[in-house]
Amino acid sequence: MCINFRLKSLLLLLAFTYAGQLSAQQYALYNTKTLFDAFENPERKVYTQDTSRKFSFNFFFPNMGTNAIAAGNAEPILRRMIGEGVFSGTGVTIGKKNFNNLIINNNTYLAMLRVYHDVLRHSEFGFAWQLRSDTYVRASDETIAILDNYRLFTDPNYTDPFNNFAVSQNYHQFSFSYRENYDKRLGVGFKLSYLSGIVYQKINVRQSSLFVNPQLRTYNLKMDGVYRSSFAFDGADSIVSASAVPGFTNPGAAVTVGATYKLRYNWNISGHLKDIGFIRWNNNSPKYSLKQTITVENAQSKNASSRLGNKLDSAINESYKTESFIGLLNGKAEMLLTKTYEHYEPSLLLSKNTFFRGGDIGLIQQIKYGSWNLGVSTVYNTSKAFMAGGSLLYKTPGFEVFLGCDQVFKTYSMIRGAINGDKEFGSGHVGASVYWGMAFNFGRVVEHPMNTNRIPGTY
């Protein structure tokens, strides 16, 4: 029997280790004066006096990034799925309440326009349209096991084996940004955003239990929790239509503020509060109760997990109500310390999620030669994952293009494992990432009044 659309979405959140952990940060682009960097960190400059042209635009070429990490006891399961296409719960721990974590951030700029406004204060302003996705999941090893084979549970009783938490939020972001130099040392900037929600899902299981009867080949699963969505799951068409057209059904707002200060001896320190905001999801958003007891008989059969899914789906339908609610964005607090040399610029980064768990500590290095910029990032994530990434940027006064990866070695090993059918590729966490972008500059060259070749009022 097929599991319907609602349950597939629910199991996709619960069985998160199939996908891993994602974090789209593109740290190797920090301090590159790219259009992408300026909208992510609004106090940053895009333009160089007497060289750059007045307008910078991506001409709707998407500037995007995504990054995936899987860390925990389910790593071997994910490797086997990628290499051989086989799912098996063997290898996870049962009864020890070990959890796996997932964070997903995807960031795509569909349109970016930046304008050089004033030379004396080096003021710039811009407009952008983004598509954003943020997901955080915390699920137990026992969740992975029950989706495969109940025989992995060797004891008759288990307390709280499925106390999982997951939240996913997808939205449009329309923003206005502005920056200027307050004085010769201090630069400030902000980004104000209107948000249009696309999809929201959240599950929170507070209590659970499992009773296994191997003689009767049955098990009883109890859960007490809540599952919330931004719309009724009557089919995939509702998601497609909601994501296609932004509007005012699920409105929200966000703010980003940043500042940079020049210290002595070519040191520079900057700090940001990024995307602090919320979305008010519509009045027709259903809230489902998960307070049920489910019995699965003939649990050794191949379709046992499918029958479990259908029972969960029917149980959820029994009790729900519709109401509006507030969803917070996964904002970040960041601090960056930078030392500038002629062709080399190292930076130390501290980044912390404001509402979700987790954060990053990173070393970013920029090597610059002519129009070329090589960025190298080494980042430690609090999910105990180490990421080594890099980017290659070509930037002239009229054009910029970049390609990068937050996890160079992990991406290579995962792709190689998928191509070669190798279930034991790599070591440590499983990961993959990619980001790219392009923008163009046009208009007259922005010149300082002392250096201008143009007399105001003439052509």
Q: What is the mean pLDDT of residues 123-136?
A: 91
The answer to whether 309 and 317 are in contact (CB under 8 A) is no
Q: Give yes or no for residue 6 having a pLDDT over 60.
A: no
190 domain-assigned = yes
110 domain-assigned = yes
Q: Give yes or no for residue 19 having a pLDDT over 70.
A: no
Higher pLDDT, 238 or 403: 403
* Statement: the pTM of the whole predicted model exceeds 0.75: yes
Residue 269 domain boundaries: 5-445
Q: What is the mean pLDDT of residues 283-291?
A: 85
pLDDT winner (highest mean) among 10-24, 68-82, 439-453: 68-82
Report the amino acid identity of residue 152: L
Q: Give yes or no for residue 343 having a pLDDT over 60.
A: yes
35 domain-assigned = yes
- Beta-strand relationship, 320-322 and 286-289: antiparallel
Quote the pLDDT of residue 237.
54
Tell me the pLDDT tens digit for each residue of 153-210: 888 888 999 898 888 889 999 999 999 999 989 999 999 999 999 999 898 999 999 8
| Percentage of the chain exceeding pLDDT 90 | 38
Q: What is the mean pLDDT of residues 243-268?
A: 91
Mean pLDDT of the chain: 84
458 domain-assigned = no
Q: Give yes or no for residue 146 having a pLDDT over 80.
A: yes
457 domain-assigned = no
Confidence of residue 305 (pLDDT cuts 50, 70, 90): confident
Higher pLDDT, 161 or 422: 161
Quote the pLDDT of residue 236.
46
Q: What's the total number of domains in the chain?
A: 1
Q: What distances in angstroms separate CA 132 from CA 66, 108, 414, 431, one per listed residue?
A: 10, 7, 25, 20
Quote the pLDDT of residue 11.
46
SS (H, E, C) the chain: CCCCHHHHHHHHHHCHHHCCECCCCCHHHCCCCCHHHHHHCCCCCCCCCCCCEEEEECCCCCEEEEEEEECCCCHHHHHHHHHHCCCCCCCCCCCCCCEEEEEEEEEEEEEEEEEEEECCCCEEEEEEEEEEEEEEEEEEHHHHHHCCCHHHCCCCEEECCCCCEEEEEEEEEEEEEEEEECCCCEEEEEEEEEEEEEEEEEEEEEEEEEEEECCCCEEEEEEEEEEEECCCCCCHHHHHHHHHCCCCCCEEEEEEEEEEEECCCCEEEEEEEEEEEEEEECCCCEEEECCEEEEECCCCCCCHHHHHHHHHHHHHHCCEEECCEEEECCCEEEEEEEECCCCEEEEEEEEEECCCCCEEEEEEEEEEECCEEEEEEEEEECCCEEEEEEEEEEEECCEEEEEEECCHHHHHHHHHHHHHCCCCCCCCCEEEEEEEEEEEEEEEECCCCCCCCCCCCCC
Phi, then psi, of 313 in degrees rounded to 5: -60, -45
Q: What is the mean pLDDT of residues 423-442?
A: 86
Beta carbons within 10 angstroms of residue 387's beta carbon: 25
The answer to whether 49 and 33 are in contact (CB under 8 A) is no
Q: Give yes or no for residue 445 having a pLDDT over 70.
A: yes
459 domain-assigned = no
CA–CA distance, 254 with 232 (Å, rounded to integer): 26
CATH number of the domain encompassing residue 119:
2.40.160
Q: What distances in angstroms separate CA 216 from CA 94, 145, 147, 322, 458, one per listed residue?
A: 21, 19, 19, 40, 92
Quote the pLDDT of residue 233.
59
Q: What distances in angstroms separate CA 394 from CA 25, 248, 341, 377, one per listed residue?
A: 20, 39, 19, 18
Beta bridge partners of 227: 203, 288
119 domain-assigned = yes
Confidence of residue 253 (pLDDT cuts 50, 70, 90): very high
Higher pLDDT, 393 or 433: 393
Q: Give yes or no for residue 8 having a pLDDT over 70.
A: no
Tell me the pLDDT tens digit for each residue of 309-337: 777 777 776 677 888 999 998 889 999 99
Quote the pLDDT of residue 345.
95
Q: What is the mean pLDDT of residues 259-281?
A: 95
Quote the pLDDT of residue 295.
83
Q: Cα–chain-centroid distance for residue 140?
A: 21
CA–CA distance, 381 with 134 (Å, rounded to integer): 16
Q: What distances in angstroms separate CA 139 from CA 20, 132, 205, 229, one per listed residue?
A: 12, 23, 10, 18
Tell me the pLDDT tens digit for each residue of 203-251: 899 999 989 888 888 888 888 888 888 876 555 455 556 556 888 889 9
Place of tokens 């992995």: 152
Q: Give yes or no for residue 395 having a pLDDT over 90.
A: yes
451 domain-assigned = no
Quote the pLDDT of residue 301.
76
Q: Give yes or no for residue 23 having a pLDDT over 60.
A: no
Q: Find the angle CA(449)-CA(452)-CA(455) to the nearest 5 degrees.
A: 95
The answer to whether 415 and 69 are in contact (CB under 8 A) is no
Quote the pLDDT of residue 416.
87
Q: Find the angle CA(19)-CA(23)-CA(25) to the nearest 5 degrees.
A: 155
